[in-house]
Structures are given as structure tokens and as C-alpha cells.
Amino acid sequence: MTTPLTVQLGDAIDDRVAEALDDYIAEGRLDGRIRPRRSPGGIAALVSAGVAAVLLPWCLILAATLPSTYQVTHWKLTWIGLDVAIAAAAGLTAYLLHTRNKYAVLTSMAAGTLLLADAWFDVSTAGAGFDHTLALAMALLLEIPLALCAWAVAVRELRQPISSRTGPSWRAR
């Protein structure tokens, strides 16, 4: 009996992660708190790197195994949910900017990311012809520019001195 490709790739990924951890421990690059020394992000940086290392091979697995078409039963709920999430992130960003709250950075980044995801899924799932042209036009003229604006707002807010914003201090414990 042969092992499915996904299981073989998963085992290979597990082996590589275990080898990398063994190397870190052997070289003394991990302290007792299970994070690389001298790493500004600590455990968050290690987890983020791990997520990236696992997702890249996972994308290859999906490319090889997913069907090219699929019948969806909750199509309306999916699209309405995404648009509600965008509206909530944008609305919360507006409120937080109005109250000069530093957390507007987070909601603005989320809104921009959701807008970009919406553009991607609109274009990639649209039917051929007018639907695809309309999705592409909306992505290029609305969703991507709005996402860039949301990210620009976040960058602008990050450059503001913390003392000019409300909310708990970053350093408060």
C-alpha cells in the first residue's frame, strides 16, 4: 500500500522541523524560554517563521491535490461575511481614528488586508466574460486603491508619537 503524497510531504516537513530544532538546541541558540537569543521578536518571530515554513509546502500540496472546480453551498454567506468584515474593520478604524486611539493601526491594517483578499477572490472566482471584467475593474479601481489607502493610514499612525494617542501604553504591564 502506498502512502498518499500529502502524508509523505507532511512527514518530510515534520522531520525538517525536528532537525532544525535539534540544531538550534545543539548550537545553544535556544535559551530556556524556547526562543532564539538575540531575536527581537522572540517566540513571535519563531512562530511566524514556522508558519511560513509550513504554509509554503502546504501551498504545493494544495496545488497538486485540490480540484479545479467545487460546488459551494454557502456562497452568499461567504461573500456577505467577507464584506461585513471589511465594513466592520473600516468602521472601527474610522471610530478609532476619530478618538485618536492607537489601535486604529491594527484595524486599518486588517481593513486593507481584507480588501486585498476580497479583490483576489472576486477576480479569481468570477465567471468568464462580463463578470470577470467587472471583478477586475472593481479590484483595480476600488479595492486595491482602498487597501493601499488603509495601509497608508496605518503607516501614518505608526509614525505618530504615542503620547498624541489615547489608549493603554504599549509598555504598560
Q: Once rounded to an integer, what is the mean pLDDT over residues 163-172?
A: 54
In a domain, 110, yes or no: yes
In a domain, 101, yes or no: yes
Q: Once rounded to an integer, what is the mean pLDDT over residues 140-148?
A: 94
Predicted local confidence at residue 173, as pLDDT:
37
pLDDT in tens, 24-72: 666 666 555 555 455 566 777 777 788 888 888 888 898 889 888 888 8
In a domain, 64, yes or no: no
Q: Once rounded to an integer, what is the mean pLDDT over residues 103-128?
A: 93
Of 15-24, 74-83, 128-137, the one with minimum mean pLDDT is 15-24
In a domain, 40, yes or no: no
Q: Once rounded to an integer, what is the mean pLDDT over residues 130-146?
A: 94
Helix/strand/coil (H/E/C) assignment for every residue in the chain: CCCCHHHHHHHHHHHHHHHHHHHHHHCCCECCCCCECCCCCCHHHHHHHHHHHHHHHHHHHHHHHCCCCCCCCCHHHHHHHHHHHHHHHHHHHHHHHHCCECCHHHHHHHHHHHHHHHHHHHHHHCCCCHHHHHHHHHHHHHHHHHHHHHHHHHHHHHHCCHHHCECCCCCCC
pLDDT band at 77; cut points 50, 70, 90: very high
In a domain, 147, yes or no: yes
Global pTM reads: 0.66
Q: When comparing pLDDT for 31 and 94, which is higher?
A: 94
Which structural domain range is residue 111 located in? 74-159
In a domain, 145, yes or no: yes
In a domain, 80, yes or no: yes
Predicted local confidence at residue 32, as pLDDT:
53
Number of domains into which the chain is organized: 1
Of 10-19, 57-66, 126-135, the one with minimum mean pLDDT is 10-19
pLDDT band at 136; cut points 50, 70, 90: very high
Predicted local confidence at residue 120, as pLDDT:
95
In a domain, 128, yes or no: yes
Predicted local confidence at residue 21, as pLDDT:
67
